[in-house]
């Protein structure tokens, strides 16, 4: 299979690249390195079945030749306004990458009769009023709030993908990806797991915004990629499929696990809620559709996944010239 993958230098994109190459496929990776990282693909410099194109997917796409599948994974994805890589600081880029990027990807797939897979997000559910969230839930999103540049752009991308399926019979798939973590996450995009691990490695107290009672479900990246690959290969799946880990933890529990794994004496530090308006209090996937359609369920327990993530963070921090790999503190 010849696969065109946008966002190939990103956290998910680079893992997906590795997995597709391991399966024997050819991968054409596209990235503009707005939030992607070149080092995520450095190990593929001499891989003959991998080609990397530097291109902004919001702009018209050159013809990279026929492909069997287009996978659209490009987008900023961190809601943290304190990071330069958070989408609140890349609002127009985020919107265009998801809207025009999806449009160009769908047109590319249509031209070559290829399958199209959209990396959507649990953020389409916004601040959900239903728990856990099944795919049939329509979500609760503020169209003019500060998170809308991501949430509404992903909802638009889903609508556009369905429109191509309905109008042209294009073979499309939509993965609604819940919180995922693992090696190669940006150290500096301000998401909670990298933040906590960095603080714990520095023997600092972990900063909890609010009282820590808000919950999240965290899926280890290998599990997530397994779900994506199954969704790509299944015979037919035009409607959205949730992919995530339904195990729910409070932010407080997560912090305690990380402090324990790293023997961090720093403890915890509570600060006023600072997240963006519309930040969900809870989010947890109903994964029955994925279980039934793909025979998929996440397998890596949180502690095991954190263990592997910590090992990667340690390695990256020591490989870089000491402190300049650390993010600036907001």
| Span near a second copy by CB under 8 A; candidates 34-42, 134-142, 267-275, 301-309 | 134-142
* CA atoms 85, 88, 93, 99: torsion sign: positive
Measured from the CB of residue 113, what is the shortest distance to a second copy in angstroms?
18
Tell me how far apart the alpha carbons of residues 135 and 122 are, in angstroms, rounded to a whole number. 10
- Residue 169 near a second copy by CB under 8 A: no
Between the alpha carbon of residue 90 and those of residues 67, 156, 249, the distances in Å are 30, 17, 29
Return the number of the residue (166 or 281) whose C-beta is nearest a second copy: 166
- Residue 158 near a second copy by CB under 8 A: yes
Which one of 24, 48, 143, 295 is in contact with a second copy (CB under 8 A)?
A: 143
Pair of tokens at residue 259: 């402090």
How many residues bind a second copy, per CB under 8 A? 35
Which one of 49, 59, 130, 159 is in contact with a second copy (CB under 8 A)?
A: 159
| Span near a second copy by CB under 8 A; candidates 15-23, 138-146, 191-199, 285-293 | 138-146
| Span near a second copy by CB under 8 A; candidates 160-168, 269-277, 280-288, 293-301 | 160-168
Q: Which of 49, 13, 7 is nearest to 31 (CA)?
A: 7
Catalytic annotation, pick one of 87, 150, 164, 181: 150
- Residue 139 near a second copy by CB under 8 A: yes
Which string of DSSP letters, residue by residue, matches 100-128?
HHHHHHHHHHHHTT-EEEEEEEGGGGBS-
Cis status, amide bond into 132, omega within 30 of 0: yes
Q: Are 224 and 12 in contact (CB under 8 A)?
A: yes
Tell me how far apart the alpha carbons of residues 161 and 15 are, in angstroms, rounded to a whole number. 24
- Residue 111 near a second copy by CB under 8 A: no
Catalytic (active site) residue 150: yes
Return the number of the residue (37 or 100) whose C-beta is nearest a second copy: 100
Return the number of the residue (127 or 223) whose C-beta is nearest a second copy: 127
Q: In sequence order, which residues have a C-beta less than 8 Å from that of residue 154 and are 6 or more positions away?
A: 75, 98, 120, 121, 123, 124
- Residue 132 near a second copy by CB under 8 A: no
Pair of tokens at residue 210: 């609010």
- Interface residue list for a second copy (CB under 8 A): 91-92, 95-96, 99-100, 103, 124, 126, 138-144, 146, 148-149, 151-153, 155-156, 158-160, 162-164, 166-167, 174, 239-240
Residues taking part in catalysis: 150
């Amino acid at each position: 299979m010849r696969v065109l993958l946008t966002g190939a230098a990103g956290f998910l994109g680079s893992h997906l690249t590795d997995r597709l190459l391991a399966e024997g496929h050819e991968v054409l990776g596209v990235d503009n390195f707005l939030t992607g990282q070149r080092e995520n693909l450095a190990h593929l410099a001499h891989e003959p079945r991998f080609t990397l194109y530097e291109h902004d997917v919001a702009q018209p796409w050159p013809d990279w030749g026929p492909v069997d599948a287009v996978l659209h994974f490009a987008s900023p994805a961190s809601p943290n306004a304190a990071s330069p890589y958070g989408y609140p600081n890349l609002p127009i880029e985020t919107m265009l990458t998801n809207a025009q990027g999806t449009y160009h990807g769908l047109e590319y797939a249509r031209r070559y009769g290829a399958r199209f897979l959209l990396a959507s997000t649990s953020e389409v559910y916004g601040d959900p009023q239903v728990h856990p969230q099944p795919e049939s839930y329509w979500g609760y999103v503020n169209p003019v709030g500060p998170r809308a540049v991501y949430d509404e752009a992903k909802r638009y991308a889903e609508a556009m993908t369905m429109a191509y399926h309905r109008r042209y019979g294009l073979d499309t798939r939509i993965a609604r990806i819940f919180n995922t973590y693992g090696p190669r996450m940006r150290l500096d995009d301000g998401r909670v797991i990298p933040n906590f691990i960095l603080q714990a490695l520095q023997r600092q107290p972990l900063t909890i915004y609010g009282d820590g009672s808000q919950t999240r479900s965290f899926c280890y990246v290998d599990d997530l990629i397994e779900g994506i690959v199954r969704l790509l290969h299944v015979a037919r799946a035009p409607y959205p499929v949730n992919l995530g880990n339904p195990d729910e933890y409070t932010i407080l529990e997560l912090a305690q696990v990380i402090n324990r794994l790293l023997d961090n004496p720093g403890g915890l530090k509570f600060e006023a809620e600072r997240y963006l308006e519309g930040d969900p209090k809870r989010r947890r996937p109903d994964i029955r559709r994925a279980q039934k359609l793909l025979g998929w369920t996440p397998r890596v327990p949180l502690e095991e996944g954190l263990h592997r993530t910590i090992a990667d963070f340690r390695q990256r921090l020591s490989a870089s010239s000491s402190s300049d790999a650390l993010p600036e503190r907001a």
